[in-house]
Structure 1
Amino acid sequence: MNKELLEKYIIGETNEEENSRIKNWLEQDIRNRTEYLKIKDMWDRLPKPLEAPEVDVDRAWENFKFAKEKRVAGVIEVAENKTVMMKWNWWAAAGVLVICSLGFYLFNNSYKQEKNLFSATAVLSDSLPDGSQVTLNKNSEIVYSRTWMSKRRNVKLEKGEVFFDVFKDKEHPFVIKSGKSQITVVGTSFNVRRYEGATEVIVATGLVKVSYSNKEVYLHPKEMITIQDSDTTKVSVKKMPDLFYKYYVDREFVFENTKLERVVELLIKAYDQKIVIDREADKKLLLTATFQQNSLNQILQVISDTFKCKVIIKDSIIHITR
């Protein structure tokens, strides 16, 4: 895709044919969307020119003539107070200028200080100002500092689930706030999920420090921890049985002799559908299959064909039955 064409699209100067071409390109590959978001982010950071307000020339001229006539008519009356008025006008103008400048700085600074990333119905991949990569699962939101001028790179997970691949910088620790938990890293990759008053952390690579209730726990790869906001006494580090937590990052399911019960558990989470296995014995059936960006219907069809079972929908619930 032509970079100049993408830039035209970002500033709204493309025609319908070009818009259609770019949209198709974005849908073809997640890497295309990632590249587009990087270019768009660079454009968003460029300083925007201030727009000059429209001026009514005729009205301005009339106001000028009126003010001039008024000054001429009252020149004798104000002569004695001219020095005082000039001093007052100068200080008043200076005061207004300072107030306006301060207001603009505070507004502009507050706007630049924080930025949020939000994924609605689709997974979103983006980069942070330091080069760290984030992948937000659907209905997830994080807030971070645009400038990152402090000693720490602070991020807050508002809701949902995010996979972080943090750029290594020993002098500026990467800190994530989630509920009553704080995750601190230097350069590593890990998953953080915020749900129902709890925070879950799973480490993919590197070492992660999790702080809660004046306690600290270090997690290694394939280790996880869940911290409840209401009860921090029942906290323990566990080993991850598999890597399926990254399904929304890798956009695929690789099942190798995976119990059908576990498969259904993941499908419920990935597709937001209620699915039940009617027969207890079927929960232990083992599935070996790979799915890459498949629809739920396609996956259920494979399950049905593999185990010679039926898939029916009753009262908005999907049943796997015999």
Structure 2
Amino acid sequence: MNNQTDIDIVIRYLEDPGNEQLKKQLNEWIQQDAGNLDIFLDMKDMWHGDPLPAASAFDTHGQWQELNAVLDNVPAVKKPAEKGRVIKMARKYWAAAAVLLIGGTWAYFGPGSYKTFATAQNQDSLRLPDGSTMYLNAHTTVRYARGFGKENRQIKIDKGEAFFDVTKNDALPFIVNAPDVEVQVLGTAFNVKAANAGVKVFVQSGKVSAAYKGTEKKVILTPGVEASLKHNGTNIDTRVHKKNNNILAWKTRTLIFDEAQLNEVADALEDFYSVQVKINNQQLSDKKLLATFRNMPLDEVLDIMKKTLQINIAHKNDLVEIY
């Protein structure tokens, strides 16, 4: 679904809010991405000529909770006399004003209190207003306040994985909010991954504080250390990684295995290629791989593994079986 189609879904609904089919399409579209609700709410306000909310008053979380009520109670819109011409012009306006494409990453610059960036099957990078750089993995959604770099330096990761190279500013701590977890730094380089099970934070340089929101439970991370924080959890597990690890392989596009055990290799392949890797013969777990793969196709990597480790590997669709 492209951005023109996305905007058309909202406009068709606003033209005929009583249409159950349009309401269903709108609801499905909103559920696809956290940023879609913001687009809908802002467009609805502008459609009806309502004043836009002030940044401090815009409650996205509350809007999510009230979504069903919003969809059920939007009043009918008066149709203009020259409906066909006006609607065509309106659709062109929304498509141009509400969504901007940047190198495969879409960014919403609507009148809400923050900007939302999302990637599909691509990766992208963005220089933030304070001079910091944010690298986004595929299928990642982040947002930051319009006053970023002046009033605060807060970023929210709704889903996915991002690496931050942070410009030092003692007066404005750099804060990353992920589900249930808050990460705070002054100047450093670190990676945050928000997955279904929880949040992982890995530090490349500097120091990072990772904490459960609303609690005193936190940990200070130094270079090479990764913290795992579970959703609705209380414990923070930490792990020290050796220099050659694959946590940032999605960014460097390079997999490095330094006498890595096969189960560790399997985990890295799953993250890097978005596949499921099963080791059907556990006697193979002790085998170790010494290899470097620089942005190579999965089948080429598997072929080298087969010959190097003298093992059998089958790859079909999204499943890799080692036996």
TM class, shorter-length: 0.5 to 0.7
Shift of 1:246: 0.5
Q: Structure 2 counterpart of 1:277, which letter?
A: I
Q: Which has the higher helix share?
A: 1
Matched, 1:309 2:311: yes
SS in 1 for 2:171: coil
Distance 2:257 2:317 in 1: 29
Distance 1:130 1:200 in 2: 24
Q: Which residue of 2 aligns with 1:69?
A: none
The structure number with the bigger radius of gyration is: 1
SS in 2 for 1:129: coil
Q: Structure 2 stretches of 5 or more lacking a match?
A: 1-48, 56-96, 98-108
Shift of 1:184: 1.0
SS in 1 for 2:138: coil
Distance 1:229 1:313 in 2: 32
Distance 2:246 2:228 in 1: 17
Label 1:301 to 1:113 Cα distance change in 2 as closer, same or farther (>3 A): same
Label 1:316 to 1:305 Cα distance change in 2 as closer, same or farther (>3 A): same
Of 274, 289, 298, 1:287 maps to 289
Q: Where in structure 2 are the equivalents of 1:148-167 lying within 5 Å?
A: 148=148, 150-167=150-167
> Normalised by the size of structure 2, how large is the TM-score?
0.62
SS in 2 for 1:163: strand
Distance 2:318 2:210 in 1: 39
Please say if residues 306 and 313 of structure 2, whose CA atoms lie closer than 8 Å, have aligned partners that are also in contact.
Answer: yes
What is the number of residues matched between the two proteins?
Answer: 220
Q: Which residue of 1 aligns with 2:74?
A: none
Q: Which residue of 2 aligns with 1:177?
A: 177
1:85-105 deviation digits (Å, cap 9, x = unpaired): xxxxxxxxxxxxxxx9x9479
Label 1:280 to 1:105 Cα distance change in 2 as closer, same or farther (>3 A): closer
Shift of 1:282: 1.6
Shift of 1:166: 0.7
1:24-73 deviation digits (Å, cap 9, x = unpaired): xxxxxxxxxxxxxxxxxxxxxxxxxxxxxxxxxxxxxxxxxxxxxxxxxx
Shift of 1:106: 5.9
SS in 2 for 1:245: coil
Shift of 1:188: 0.1
Matched, 1:270 2:272: yes
Shift of 1:147: 3.0
Q: Which residue of 2 aligns with 1:41?
A: none
Q: Tell me the percent identity.
A: 25
1:160-217 deviation digits (Å, cap 9, x = unpaired): 1111111111111111111121111111011111112521111110011123213332
Q: Which residue of 2 aligns with 1:138?
A: 138
Distance 1:153 1:164 in 2: 12
Distance 2:151 2:317 in 1: 54
Label 1:237 to 1:310 Cα distance change in 2 as closer, same or farther (>3 A): closer
Shift of 1:133: 1.1
Please say if residues 179 and 197 of structure 1, whose CA atoms lie closer than 8 Å, have aligned partners that are also in contact.
Answer: no
Matched, 1:238 2:269: no
Q: Structure 2 counterpart of 1:127, which letter?
A: R
Q: Which residue of 1 aligns with 2:88?
A: none
Please say if residues 200 and 226 of structure 1, whose CA atoms lie closer than 8 Å, have aligned partners that are also in contact.
Answer: yes
Label 1:149 to 1:111 Cα distance change in 2 as closer, same or farther (>3 A): farther
Q: Which residue of 2 aligns with 1:206?
A: 206
Distance 1:308 1:206 in 2: 41
Please say if residues 245 and 256 of structure 2, whose CA atoms lie closer than 8 Å, have aligned partners that are also in contact.
Answer: no
Distance 1:309 1:197 in 2: 31
Shift of 1:149: 5.8
Please say if residues 151 and 173 of structure 1, whose CA atoms lie closer than 8 Å, have aligned partners that are also in contact.
Answer: no
Calculate the aligned-residue CA RMSD, in Å. Answer: 2.6
Deviates more, 1:153-162 or 1:281-290: 281-290
Label 1:110 to 1:149 Cα distance change in 2 as closer, same or farther (>3 A): farther
Please say if residues 112 and 147 of structure 1, whose CA atoms lie closer than 8 Å, have aligned partners that are also in contact.
Answer: no
Shift of 1:112: 6.7
